[in-house]
Structure formats: structure tokens, C-alpha cells
């Protein structure tokens, strides 16, 4: 085992900002650490070949990562997905920092009050599974879960275990639901330009629209939200930095300050999107 070695495992990972974020955290904390992006279609093979002390896991492997762990933290068990691996004596320990990262960004940097917000969650993949329990814990109101493959929305709603509060819905059955206070896009649809058409009636003057993606990938959903009259538009860059800080704290016992790297990456993303 190489104690100073960490990595992000996913497919694709070429454009990930995580190595840059963790390098900034390590400089700030004075920790000698190497963090690589490992592009792997076969998660199990990549993990078996990895000799480091910890790793982040991104799409499409978060469920697979949970299955590869010998122990799971409470957040990962509830979510059924792992984004942070910590090597222990008996194998990998899995945790999930996505939900806390999102809630920290929304309630801290964005100053949104999430309590009692009637919420629509688009997607039921690794990202959606990670953020749903944290949103419920943050005190949102009813949560409607919608996914292209309806069985996965049903499975997520079942796993959350709050049938009076969590409601799976079909994508083509959204018209009568009215305006939401919070809409979270946790699909990867806009990455390939295939964001599904949504009724404009879902968003309005009291809606905060949040895309877990950032940069070009968030443009389609946030443009829809703006056209529908949403009040706040938030992309996933702040969440990315905050979930990384939580992972860093799990590995090193120090939670880094996130403002400087967030400001640096925000300036970079704004320049890229407007170019």
C-alpha cells in the first residue's frame, strides 16, 4: 500500500476537476499526497490494481463501489452508493459525501433555506441516490423522484423508506404536479445533449433549480429553468468542491477551507462557458 496515493476512479474522468481540487487541499494542509484520475470501464479490476490509501468513485461505478466494500458508513448504506473509499485493515470502507456536499453548498454558499421545500429530483443514478437522503435530512418537504427508467425511481423511493414523504413519478406524468420549490437535476442527460423536455409549469418564481453538473453540461437544464421563471439557478461546482473537502477530511482528519479553490474554478468555468 502506498500511503500517500489517492485517486478518482470512473469512466470517463479525463476532464475531472477532482485532481486539481485535491492538490489545492493538500498544499493548504501541508500534506504530501498524489491524486490521479483513473479511467476504468471495469471498476473491480481498477480497484484490485490500485495500491493507494483512498479513492473517490464517480459515474458509472458508485453502486459497484458499495458492493466492493467490506464496511459501509451510515450515509453510504442509506444511499446504496459509495463515492469515497478508505482502505482499512479488513478491506475497503465506503462512505458517501455527495449529499453533505450538496447541502453544504446550498445552505452555506447559496444561502438557501431547504426546510419544507417541495422537491423534484430528476434521476435515480449514483448522484441522485447520494443526495436524496441528505436532502430529506435537511428538512425538505415532499420529495418526488422521476427517472427515465421508472423501476430505478421506484427502487430509490423504496430505499429511502419514507412512503408518506417520497413519491416516485413517471417522466411523462409531470404535468399536473404544479410548481416546485426545489428542482434537482441529477441526470447525466445534458452531458450528451439529450435533456428531456419538461413542462414549464414545474418551475416558477419560488423555484430554486439545481444541476449536479457544471460547465457546458449544466447549461441545458439551467436554461430551461430560467425560461420557466425559476428564481435561483445553481450548478454543481460548489457541490463538487464541498464533497471533495468531506472526502479529504475522511482521509486526513482535516477539513480544508474551500473558498479559494471554489473561486478559482468558478472563474475558470465562467470563462469556458462564455467563450
Active site residue ranges: 62
**Binding span for ligand NDP by CB under 6 A among 41-49, 145-153, 173-181, 224-232:** 145-153
> Minimal CA–CA distance to 131: which of 169, 185, 172?
185
Per the annotation, does 107 bind a ligand? no
The H or E element containing residue 151 is helix 150-160
| 84-88 vs 71-72, strand pairing mode | unpaired
Q: Which of residues 206-225 bind ligand NDP (CB under 6 A)?
A: 212-213, 217
Cα(275)–Cα(261) distance, rounded to whole angstroms?
21
Q: How far is the CB of 227 from ligand NDP (least distance, A)?
A: 19
Q: How far is the CB of 122 from ligand NDP (least distance, A)?
A: 7
Per the annotation, does 56 bind a ligand? no
Interface with ligand NDP (CB under 6 A), residue from 34, 87, 148, 231:
148
159 scored as a contact of ligand NDP (CB under 6 A): no
240 scored as a contact of ligand NDP (CB under 6 A): yes
Reading across the β-sheet that carries 232-234, which strands appear in turn? 166-169, 143-146, 119-122, 182-185, 208-211, 232-234
152 scored as a contact of ligand NDP (CB under 6 A): yes
Per the annotation, does 70 bind a ligand? no
Interface with ligand NDP (CB under 6 A), residue from 52, 215, 236, 256:
236
Interface with ligand NDP (CB under 6 A), residue from 186, 198, 222, 234:
186
Per the annotation, does 80 bind a ligand? no
Neighbouring residues of 160: CB distance < 8 A, sequence distance ≥ 6: 78, 132, 133, 136, 143, 166
> Minimal CA–CA distance to 177: which of 219, 118, 104, 232?
118
Amino acid at each position: 500500500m502506498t500511503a500517500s496515493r489517492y485517486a478518482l476512479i470512473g469512466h470517463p474522468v479525463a476532464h475531472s476537476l477532482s485532481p486539481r481540487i485535491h492538490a489545492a487541499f493538500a498544499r493548504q494542509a501541508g500534506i504530501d499526497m498524489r491524486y490521479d484520475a483513473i479511467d476504468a470501464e471495469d471498476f473491480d479490476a481498477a480497484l484490485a490494481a490500485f495500491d493507494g490509501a483512498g479513492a473517490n468513485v464517480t459515474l458509472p461505478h458508485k453502486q459497484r463501489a458499495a458492493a466492493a466494500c467490506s464496511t459501509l458508513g451510515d450515509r453510504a448504506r442509506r444511499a446504496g452508493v459509495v463515492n469515497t473509499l478508505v482502505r482499512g485493515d479488513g478491506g475497503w470502507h465506503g462512505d458517501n459525501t455527495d449529499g453533505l456536499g450538496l447541502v453544504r453548498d446550498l445552505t452555506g454558499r447559496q444561502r438557501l433555506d431547504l426546510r419544507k421545500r417541495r422537491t423534484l429530483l430528476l434521476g435515480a443514478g449514483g448522484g441522485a441516490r447520494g443526495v436524496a437522503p441528505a436532502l430529506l435530512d435537511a428538512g425538505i418537504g415532499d420529495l418526488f423522484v422521476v427517472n427515465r427508467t421508472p423501476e430505478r425511481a421506484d427502487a430509490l423511493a423504496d430505499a429511502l423508506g419514507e412512503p408518506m414523504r417520497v413519491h416516485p413519478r413517471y417522466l411523462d406524468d409531470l404535468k399536473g404536479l404544479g410548481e416546485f420549490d426545489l428542482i434537482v437535476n441529477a441526470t447525466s442527460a445534458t452531458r450528451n445533449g439529450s435533456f428531456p423536455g419538461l413542462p414549464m409549469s414545474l418551475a416558477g418564481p419560488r423555484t430554486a433549480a439545481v444541476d449536479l453538473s457544471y460547465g457546458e453540461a449544466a447549461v441545458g437544464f439551467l436554461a430551461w429553468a430560467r425560461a420557466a421563471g425559476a428564481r435561483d439557478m445553481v450548478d454543481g461546482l460548489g457541490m463538487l468542491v464541498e464533497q471533495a473537502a468531506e472526502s479529504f477530511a475522511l482521509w486526513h482528519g482535516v477539513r480544508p477551507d474551500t473558498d479559494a479553490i471554489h473561486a478559482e474554478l468558478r472563474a475558470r468555468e465562467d470563462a469556458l462557458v462564455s467563450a
